Amino acid sequence: MNPEDITVAGVRTALASGSSTAEAITRACLDRIAAHDDTIHAFLAVFADRAIERAGAVDARIAGGESPESIGAMAGVPVAIKDNICLDHGRTTAASVMLEAYESPFSATAAARLEDAGAIILGKTNLDEFGMGSSCEYSAFGATRNPWDISRTPGGSSGGSAAAVAAGFVPVAIGSDTGGSVRQPAAMCGCVGLKPSYGTVSRHGLIAYASSLDQIGPMTRTVEDAAAVLEVIAGADADDATCLDRPAPKLTHDLHEPVEGLKIAVPRQAQADAVDPMVRLIFGMSCKVFAELGAELMEVELDHAELAIPAYYTIACAEASTNLARYDGIRFGRRAEIGPNDPLEELYIRSRSEGFGPEVRRRIMLGTHALRAGFADKLYERAMRARRVIKADYDAIFRVMQADAVLTPTAPGPAFELGSRAGAPTDLYLEDTFTVGANLAGLPAISLSAGFVPSEGGSLPVGIQLTGHTHSEAKLLRIAAMFERASSVGGRVAV
Ligand code: GLN
């Protein structure tokens, strides 16, 4: 089985028929990583021996008469995990010097559920430090390159996960999405990326960035695989009080049933001047695909769209400033050296200054300011009011206009050159124009590969995003599957 052809269903068929083994599939992926990851740098750590051993255990069970289904929905499927998701093996660094030596004693619920379902975790992938960024360039351990054009970023913050899927290293990766970090890198690397409704997937073991926005989601080559992975990782978890007390949704059984009377809302902002002309072209073609599928396209206005970025960055930074307060060099995080006569305060200051990179420090300062007495009503509370009206705009589209999904580009442009946004951190924040709304409103949203634009180093994928009403993952995935079948753009690998 060629690594670039592997899918979740493909692995199940191959193992059931005996045409391949979990070990052979794992080794093929590991070989590909060994051949290309020096260039791409998708992984911060690869656990080759552990992966081969676990794959061997799956094969032994199959040899003993068990079927792949009875072992689990992910039996023998190679998976990569973003390195802000804890695993009880190796290190979990969040791509930060602060956590460079951290070994988690437990696995995140999402990672544990994948392994319980038979998945083979091959390693941990690169990210922007603590998930803060849109290009993977804020990793303390070096940027990841886009497999479609290695002079470009893979997007971020889950850039390592997206690049690993796009390079054919793994069919499935897991990312986290606070303001677009699953969807934007998926778009830039030509994969599928799904952010579930808030509370669908447990955040237990996810290193917190902004707790009211963070969700873990799948990154795959196909919509079917995204549905299969979400079925495994979703569902109630006693270890996360914000995870909804209900079973994982059923997503795969009727995935290929088209949605009748489909209504797609298209916000005016989707075609704004700030969107790259080539992205607008591909977006227009995607609208046509939906029209040809019989969908009714409705032009809508997201009245408060311009508030989304300021509200998001105020709330995300405020929550980050409190979440990251625990890294003081004593309870958590790397401890700096101080002199015998230095005051204790010096230990905190040095540990935090040496452990956090510049973007993380910037956000802690912004967030601390937003929460300061005398400013909180002007900044944090205003942002929370904006969050409510943004949610109300989406509610009106789904409840009053009865739209099934809102369609936009995922990002305003294709992958940009590595280093080209250095020195302009707030320009980078605009990458999230189309993605933060779903996080602020708690909605599910999926990015799909919709076309390619030429670049000097090859061609670059462009993504579209479908946002659905809360807990409409099943319908959203069916709409995504309709598009995937009709457009036949997705599913390709770059290397
Ligand atoms: N780019 C956004 C940020 O930097 C989103 C990050 C994310 O979703 N983790 O905050």
The DSSP string of 265-322 is: EEEGGGG-TTS-HHHHHHHHHHHHHHHHTTPEEEEE--TTGGGHHHHHHHHHHHHHHH
339 within domain boundaries: yes
pLDDT of residue 422 exceeding 90, the answer is no
**Strand duo 172-177 + 78-82: pairing:** parallel
428 within domain boundaries: no
Ligand 1 pocket residues where CB is under 6 Å: 131-134, 157, 177-181, 209, 316, 432
- pLDDT recorded at residue 47: 98
pLDDT range class, residue 456, cuts 50, 70, 90: confident
Distance CA 488, CA 495 (A): 19
Distance CA 427, CA 429 (A): 5
135, 145 Cβ separation under 8 angstroms: no
Mean pLDDT of 148-162: 97
Residue 342 C-alpha to ligand 1 middle, in angstroms? 37
246 within domain boundaries: no
348 within domain boundaries: yes
The per-residue pLDDT of the chain, averaged, comes to 96
97, 130 Cβ separation under 8 angstroms: no
Rounded (10°) angle between helices 380-395 and 358-371: 90
pLDDT of residue 434 exceeding 90, the answer is yes
Neighbours of 167 (CB within 10 A): 28
Q: 17, 94, 81, 73: which is closest to 51 by C-alpha?
A: 81
pLDDT of residue 491 exceeding 80, the answer is no
- pLDDT recorded at residue 171: 98
**Run of H or E including 220:** strand 215-220
pLDDT of residue 110 exceeding 80, the answer is yes
Q: Which atom of ligand 1 is nearest to the CA of 316?
A: 10
99 within domain boundaries: no
pLDDT of residue 244 exceeding 90, the answer is yes
CA 262 to chain CA centroid, Å, is 27
Q: Any catalytic annotation for residue 181?
A: yes
pLDDT of residue 114 exceeding 80, the answer is yes
347 within domain boundaries: yes
259 within domain boundaries: no
Distance CA 422, CA 409 (A): 24
Predicted confidence (pLDDT) per residue in 370-409, tens digit = 999 898 888 999 999 999 999 999 999 999 999 999 999 9
pLDDT range class, residue 427, cuts 50, 70, 90: confident
Torsion of CA 322, 323, 327, 328, to 10 degrees: 20
> Rounded to the nearest 5°, which phi and psi values hold at 154?
-85, 5
Residue 160 C-alpha to ligand 1 middle, in angstroms? 14
Distance CA 236, CA 245 (A): 5
pLDDT of residue 117 exceeding 80, the answer is yes
Predicted confidence (pLDDT) per residue in 1-31, tens digit = 787 789 999 999 999 999 999 999 999 999 9
pLDDT of residue 478 exceeding 90, the answer is yes
Mean pLDDT of 79-86: 98
Distance CA 212, CA 45 (A): 29
439, 128 Cβ separation under 8 angstroms: no
For residue 132, what are the β-bridge partners?
none
Total of domains in the chain = 1
Distance CA 393, CA 398 (A): 9
Q: Which atom of ligand 1 is nearest to the CA of 158?
A: 9
- pLDDT recorded at residue 2: 81
- pLDDT recorded at residue 52: 98
CA 289 to chain CA centroid, Å, is 25
Predicted confidence (pLDDT) per residue in 321-331, tens digit = 999 999 999 99
- pLDDT recorded at residue 493: 82
Q: State the residue range of the domain holding 347.
A: 306-381
- Mutation choice for ligand 1 from 138, 209, 219, CB with most ligand atoms inside 8 A: 209
Place of tokens 């390195």: 83
Predicted confidence (pLDDT) per residue in 46-80, tens digit = 999 999 999 999 999 999 999 999 999 999 999 99
Residue 206 C-alpha to ligand 1 middle, in angstroms? 14
Instruction: Name the catalytic one among 161, 181, 286, 449.
Output: 181
336 within domain boundaries: yes
pLDDT range class, residue 457, cuts 50, 70, 90: confident
CA 304 to chain CA centroid, Å, is 25
Tell me the whole-structure pTM to 2 decimals.
Answer: 0.97
Q: Any catalytic annotation for residue 82?
A: yes
For ligand 1, atom 10, the nearest C-alpha belongs to 132
Q: 323, 280, 311, 303: which is closest to 450 by C-alpha?
A: 280
- Mutation choice for ligand 1 from 126, 127, 134, 207, CB with most ligand atoms inside 8 A: 134
